[in-house]
Amino acid sequence: MQVTQVRTTGFHDGSTDHIFKTTHTALPALKPGEVKICTDWISIDPAMRGWTTNKPSYMPPVQPGEIMRCFGVAEVLESQSKHFAQGDWVTGFMGVQDYGVVSQNGLRKVDLNLAEAKDYLAGLGMTGFTGYFGMTDIGQPQAGETVVVSAASGAVGSIAAQVAKLAGARVIGIAGGPEKCAYLLDTLKLDGVIDYKNDHMPSALKRECPKGIDVYFDNVGGATLDAVLACINYQGRIVVCGAVSQYADFANVSGPANFMTVVTHSLKIQGFTMKDYMHRVPEAFSYLLKAKQTGDIIFREHIVAGLENFQSALEMIFTGKNHGKLLLKVEK
């Protein structure tokens, strides 16, 4: 069987995403503990840029020549695993490929009677879980508090913002452009929005947060974090989920200029990844599934079709062209 795979050709240096090539090869025979899969959906994530950077991180980098790492949803075609059988649907690390042989480790079954396959990469997948745990565990919003979420129309930010709303907080979303801001107001029913492309951030934060900011869920870092620190309340909490504004140049990442606010305002600032919460995935899944079924939380996906469009899809993440969770539909 000839399969299509996307492999890296080198490490990302911040100047280009053109480090991928498409290959066609035969699948190896199954070994004990492995399954043959038919990939249906692939998650496109900002973390992919970090995974292709030769720097210490929470996961080892994808080495040049290896199949690009990704989260996916797939059907099991053959199995040499005692945990999975032919016909099961699974999610986990798949690799950017239409068919593959993967280890049983890190895979888990999904139930397509509960939700669509793509949901397990969106609101019911790692991005949804990230928004849930970052907001509930670290942010801990209380009724009446002011919560600000950057990249609020994105996959993680939209879940984090809605979780804060359900906790009774007043939620302000930061997004780029009138269409995304309208989505936050009209569909997600946030209490206010800031268009970072057209608003003056310090002035907009004062406009939308006249009583200051109690919780900031940070997906972007950079100048936005600086502006938030100027408005943060005493004993505020900052959840550091990502810093997408800095990912273009890993060699020159800069911290906030007014970092002493952390001391003067007795702030709690904590970063995290889902690696910290894998043992609690069932908790997040139950919460988000129920919220989806009741209409209390809305999932939004931006779908690109075809492995040949993987490179351009990844670039969309860093130019803000996607509206919602970015997914690649694998065509065969």
For position 197, what pLDDT does the model report? Answer: 95
| Consecutive H or E run containing 20 | strand 20-26
Alpha-carbon distance of 205 to 23, in angstroms, equals: 48
Let me know if residue 70 belongs to a domain: yes
Tell me if 130 is assigned to some domain.
yes
| Judgement on whether residues 144 and 48 belong to the same structural domain of the protein | no
Distance between CA 193 and CA 198 in Å, rounded? 12
pLDDT digits over 76-99, tens only? 999 999 999 999 999 999 999 999
Q: Do 144 and 259 belong together in one domain?
A: yes
> Do residues 116 and 180 share a domain?
no
Same domain, residue pair 101 and 142? no
Q: Is 270 in the same domain as 143?
A: yes
Amino acid letter, residue 267: L
Q: Within a domain: residue 283?
A: no
Task: Using the predicted structure, report yes or no on whether residue 106 has a pLDDT greater than 70.
Answer: yes
The verdict on 265 and 187 lying in the same domain is yes
DSSP letter at 134? Answer: I
Find the helix packing angle between 281-294 and 155-166, rounded to 10°: 80
CB-based contacts of 19: which residues, under 8 Å, 6+ apart?
8, 9, 10, 11, 12, 52
CA angle, residues 257, 261, 262, in degrees to nearest 5? 105
Check whether residue 72 and residue 211 sit in a common domain: no
Q: Are residues 99 and 231 in the same domain?
A: no
Q: Is residue 280 a part of any domain in this protein?
A: no
CA separation (Å) from 185 to 194, 275, 291, 320, 326? 10, 32, 19, 18, 21
Residue 233 sits in the same domain as residue 115: no
Per the structure, how many domains does the chain have?
Answer: 2
CATH at residue 172: 3.40.50.720
For residue 33, the domain's CATH number is 3.90.180.10
State yes or no: pLDDT of 250 exceeds 80.
Answer: no
- Asked if the structure places residue 9 within a domain, the reply is yes
131 shares a domain with 250: yes
Hey, which residues does 38 pair with through a beta bridge?
75, 99
Q: Are residues 199 and 158 in the same domain?
A: yes
Q: Which domain holds residue 138?
A: 126-275
Taking only the tens place, the pLDDT of each residue in 215-231 is: 999 999 999 999 999 99
Asked whether residue 96 falls in the same domain as residue 159, the answer is no
Q: pLDDT per residue over 1-36, tens digit each?
A: 789 999 999 887 765 568 899 999 999 999 999 999
